[in-house]
Structure 1
Amino acid sequence: MTKEIENYILGDPGHRVTKRAARCRPAFQYKQPRRRKLEPTEQTFGTLRSLASRMCTQKEAAAILQVHVDTLQKFFRANPEAREAWGEGKELGRAQLRMLLWQQAVDNPAQARFLAKQKTWLGYQDNPATAKVDVTVKDCSEAERRARIQELQERLLKTTASSDTGSG
């Protein structure tokens, strides 16, 4: 403790201290010191894993751990175990989210359709078959009309087959 702080708390003999000032504590005594360093312990790794599984950003994790973002990033660079714990947590969070979405899809048809359209699930797409088909009406003979209908049906079957395989 510096001499100035000591004199403020105890009262400098050269200064008159009022009763109220003697009862009050300075503000610096109430502040809790900020953690300056992360320790590479299992508890810290578990906390990082838990925060990452909840999809927290590194900035949010640093705020919860009461350190600066730069300190957290330096900790990751210096400790491969911490990076591994963060990565495991992110993967665990993704798996939990996937299980939750799957459970919702069992009871909710809209959710099931949403999941089916995602590339990571089935890759289905909404491709209206008539959007790319030219259906202009022209004066033509019966043979030309049938040939045109046959051509359109083949194109429709081709687009339907490609969207069923998920390659479209």
Structure 2
Amino acid sequence: MNETSFEALPDAAKRVALLLEAHGYAKPIVMLPATGRTSAEAAAGLGCAIAQIAKSIIFRRVSDDAPVLVIASGANRVDEAKVAARVGPLGKADARFVREQTGYAIGGVCPIGHATKPVMLIDEDLLALDSLWAAAGHPHAVFNLSAQELVAMTGAPVVDVALRADA
């Protein structure tokens, strides 16, 4: 991984860097040498635990086609029934829907700066971690933040969204 100068960032990552700066965030965006499309790939490239990857998963709310963004720990599978209980019935979001609604490609969906403001939920398991990594608008771009910074930037409620083995 390497910190990349603003000028060398892909366009979507530049947009995220400016959004982060507007939120008072001062750390640089990091470009992974290999894709960070999956939590395991991102964690391997960063040398961190999979749980520290704050993955962005987009669903489509059936009632109004609104985007629903769940920011979950990379170690967790999202329990769609728990999410649906909070926001209404969910449908799958294909790559085109994700790009149109968020402005980002799958694998690069940032927690902020969406084309359409999504309904958002944050996985409560992320709050137990000191350091998180989130996508910065491009499948190779990430940024480091705390769970508290994530909550402050997004304003999203923190809830239980994880599929539990004992459930």
TM-score, length basis structure 2: 0.23
Q: Which structure has more helix as a fraction of its residues?
A: 1
Q: Over alpha carbons, which structure has the higher Rg?
A: 1
Higher RCO, Cα 8 Å, sep 6+: 2
